[in-house]
Amino acid sequence: MSHDFDPTVLREYDIRGIIGETLSPDDARAIGRTFGSMLREAGGSRVAVGYDGRVSSPILEHALVEGLTAAGCDAVRVGMGPTPMLYYAEASDDKIDGGIQITGSHNPANYNGFKMVFQGRPFFGADIQELGRRSAAGEWADGRGEVETRDVMDAYIAKMVDALVDIDGTALAKLRVGWDAGNGAAGPALEQLVERLPGEHHLLFTEVDGNFPNHHPDPTVEANLEDLRTLVAEKSLDFGIAFDGDGDRIGAIDGQGRVIWGDQLLMIYAEDLLARRGDSPVIIADVKASRALYDHVAACGGKPLMWKTGHSLIKSKMKETGSPLAGEMSGHVFFADEYYGFDDALYAGVRLLAASARLGKSVTDLRSAMPDMINTPEMRFQVDESRKFAAIEEVKERLKDSPDEVDGTDGVRVTNDDGWWLLRASNTQDVLVARAESETQAGLTRLMAQIDEQLALSGLERGESVGH
């Protein structure tokens, strides 16, 4: 007995594919069997299992549990909910050794996949490749695990509400907030959460529907925030919060309808956190984040650290540095301050309420205080898989004697008097990612010309930007 996966589904940070084409219940069963075997070898035996609201998720969950128990692991089924609820189930119970969430995240409705935690750490990269190798070789343990069903929703929500315990209730009670669940898996948890929050709350699209009938649940795409923007404007709300399909990425707008991007949210969270701490902790952001964020963290007394893009990579770096807070442009925000260090958009929403109340400033005022930078969206363009990493190395080599500041943490980020530009290879697709930021339009134009020059020297061109 063995199982071969379609090579496209074993990705850097998770396993993801198209139902009926590259992903099936047989794959789910093999993932459970192999993950369970690896966990048992490492001394673990209990795995929490959750799933999102996609049409295909329940059948994949059933097959996954079959695989886990066939490897001799016990499965703790926590049911449908956001990915961070599964993370909570794993992190809050020291008798649980691993966790798997079935989710297609922000991908189209016909996708699905698996996000995994192994003995408290992200399971990614080489782990996923090893899972594929062992599955193909049939290196599986045998056993008969038990299955239990556990409701963790109440405890999960209670833990989130704890973030508000020490805050002046008067300030919180004045807040008026809009929320958009995008018909994703966070909807039911959001409904229960706002019942326990002070203030006035208005909800959109909390009914779980794996076909996403209202808009696609990716809050990093501005068009998907239009319904929330309308709600905030019509009801004159203080701000609005949106979630992706599985509730681990946050999007936000202020009371004027301006988008608060991932790095700008992190500026608010960092200001709140650093004002309460006497030390100077490391605050981590990915290489796509604005220079304004790194400057703001330093000005507030923290130690800014630029790190590689990817939620698994950021979580690992947080553990290594003891960082209490990290975030990505993509809307993943990680709180290890009074929380567990995983990315949870619902908790990040609660912490935005907390920050506004504690700092005594509206979210709109906090957004208005940020410097007006001119930046590009994230540009992605197709490059042959065999060329993408090589091209980045060529750029690094050419710039090694550059008078500009060149950072090679993740791709190439070049800083000069005009601002900065970034060129990096995606870990999950055959694309290069580019971004640039300046204080002036002329500066941005010059930065883009530098990107184009480096691409041309490697025989590439920016061309049309492609989607996620």
List active site positions.
105
Contacts of residue 397, Cβ cutoff 8 Å, sequence gap at least 6: none
Maximal C-alpha separation, the chain = 66
The whole-angstrom separation of Cα 186 and Cα 182 is 9
**Three-state DSSP state, 340:** coil
CA distances from 468 to 108, 205, 220, 429, 432 (A): 10, 23, 11, 9, 11
Contacts of residue 386, Cβ cutoff 8 Å, sequence gap at least 6: none
What is residue 162's DSSP assignment?
A: G
- Look-up: residue for tokens 């909910």? 81
Q: Give burial (CB, 10 Å; 0-12/13-18/19+) of 384.
A: exposed
**DSSP-derived pairing of the beta strands 46-51 and 98-102:** parallel
Q: Give burial (CB, 10 Å; 0-12/13-18/19+) of 468.
A: middle
- At 48, list the tokens: 């929490």
Q: CA-based angle 127:129:135, to the nearest 5?
A: 100
CB 382 within 8 A of CB 463: yes
31-50 as b/e: b if 16+ CB within 10 A: bbbbbbbbbbeeebbbbbbb
Contacts of residue 392, Cβ cutoff 8 Å, sequence gap at least 6: 411, 412, 423, 424, 425, 432
The whole-angstrom separation of Cα 184 and Cα 203 is 13
DSSP structure string for 16-50: EEEBTTTB-HHHHHHHHHHHHHHHHHTT--EEEEE
The whole-angstrom separation of Cα 134 and Cα 5 is 11
- Name the β-bridge partners of 202: 178
Where does 356-402 show beta strands of DSSP type E? 374-375, 379-382
Q: Give burial (CB, 10 Å; 0-12/13-18/19+) of 455.
A: buried
Termini Cα distance of the chain: 36
Helix axes 187-195, 345-359, angle to 10 degrees: 30
